[in-house]
Amino acid sequence: MTARTASTAPAAATTGTTSALHVADVTVRFAGLVALDGVGFTVAPGSIHALIGPNGAGKSTCFNVLSGVCRPARGTVRFGDAELTRLAPHRIAALGVARTFQNIVMTRGTVADNLMLGRHGLSRAGFAATALRLPHAVREQHAQLERVREIAELTALDGLFDTPVELLSYGDRKRVELARALCLEPRLLLLDEPVAGMNAAERARTAATVRSLRERLGLSVLLVEHDMGLVMRLADEVTVLDFGRRIAGGTPYEVRQDPEVRRAYLGSSGAVEDTSGEAEDLESPGGSERSV
């Protein structure tokens, strides 16, 4: 299986070139603990799919399986024709799967420097050619930088392109993490709590960015998120985990009505409290953005 070559062209603009992600019967054990127990779901091409559940439900473990950090004891993960469960993380990334993390990891330097790191796996010029600034390496470097500028514009970071990352707000740093994942030119984007710690304005801006990226680039998106308001507005499909098992799945409205979801994730009262203390009736598909 060969790595993807460098490209300055935007990712696929239609879902026709985006593959489905099929997760089937995935089980992960840590000593005597079953972290995932026969979990299965499908992320349709070009869709936004949310993976939700209480703390300890197995969401992070599932992401670790999908990105190659953790190998399951049983089950399969297929992205298009590729089986991912025995591949190293860099080989999964080369197939077009990119991931963000809950904890932001920035390198020293500017936004541009951090985004260029995301292009490293797509570079064809070797270290020596780059260090010696051979003509083909210089041309590739310029092409990579131009693509990074385009991605910065897509994520509303173009005005901060030359800003040192230590001067950025928390919300802007989270967007740098998102943009750096996009620099891999993924077909499937795994977002691990993309709005955690953000204020309401930052959450709304990030949600709009994710929706725009799906529409403009034809990406499939799988996100883990505790903000139920964002999930209900953004996701096409939702999978719910509890104690490592899949307990529900379907459209956001269908999931809201599921009694197991009410019991395990939202509580028996069937209401969600937001930060202002207002409650959202789960019978209503609308309502303002809230966190749980």
| More confident site: 136 or 88 | 88
208 pLDDT higher than 90: yes
Question: Whose CA is closest to 66, among 48, 53, 82, 45?
Answer: 82
* Bridging pattern class, strands 279-281 and 271-273: antiparallel
pLDDT one-digit tens code per residue, 271-290: 444 433 333 434 333 333 33
**Which pLDDT band holds residue 123 (cuts at 50, 70, 90)?**
low
The pLDDT value given to residue 6: 39
As a whole number, mean pLDDT of residues 192-213 equals 92
pTM (whole model) above 0.85: no
- CB atoms < 10 A from the CB of 4, how many? 15
Helix/strand/coil (H/E/C) assignment for every residue in 196-263: CCCCHHHHHHHHHHHHHHHHHHCCEEEEECCCHHHHHHHCCEEEEEECCEEEEEECHHHHHHCHHHHH
Q: What is the dihedral of CA 35, 69, 84, 206, to 10 degrees?
A: 90
The pLDDT value given to residue 282: 40
The pLDDT value given to residue 270: 47
Task: Answer for the pair 85, 71: CB distance below 8 angstroms, yes or no.
Answer: yes
The pLDDT value given to residue 133: 56
The pLDDT value given to residue 7: 40
The pLDDT value given to residue 8: 39
199 pLDDT higher than 70: yes
151 pLDDT higher than 90: yes
CATH 3.40.50.300 in the chain, residue ranges: 15-96+186-292
Task: Answer for the pair 44, 188: CB distance below 8 angstroms, yes or no.
Answer: no
Question: Whose CA is closest to 230, among 260, 254, 200?
Answer: 200
The pair phi, psi for residue 290, each rounded to 5°, is: -140, 160
As a whole number, mean pLDDT of residues 247-274 equals 75
Cα 39 to the chain's mean position, in Å? 19
The 3-state DSSP class for residue 90 equals helix
As a whole number, mean pLDDT of residues 97-114 equals 86
As a whole number, mean pLDDT of residues 3-11 equals 39
Per cent of the chain over pLDDT 90 is 60
38 pLDDT higher than 80: yes
Average pLDDT, the chain: 82
Q: Give rounded-to-5 percent helix, strand, coil for the chain.
A: 40, 25, 40
The amino acid present at 53, given as its one-letter code, is G
The pLDDT value given to residue 266: 57
The pLDDT value given to residue 265: 60
The pLDDT value given to residue 69: 94
Half-sphere exposure of 251 (CA within 13 A, CB side): 3
Distance CA 289, CA 241 (A): 21
231 pLDDT higher than 70: yes
The pair phi, psi for residue 253, each rounded to 5°, is: -65, -40
Reply yes or no on domain 15-96+186-292 having CATH 2.102.10.10. Answer: no
The pLDDT value given to residue 285: 35
16 pLDDT higher than 90: no
**Which pLDDT band holds residue 18 (cuts at 50, 70, 90)?**
confident
As a whole number, mean pLDDT of residues 134-159 equals 81
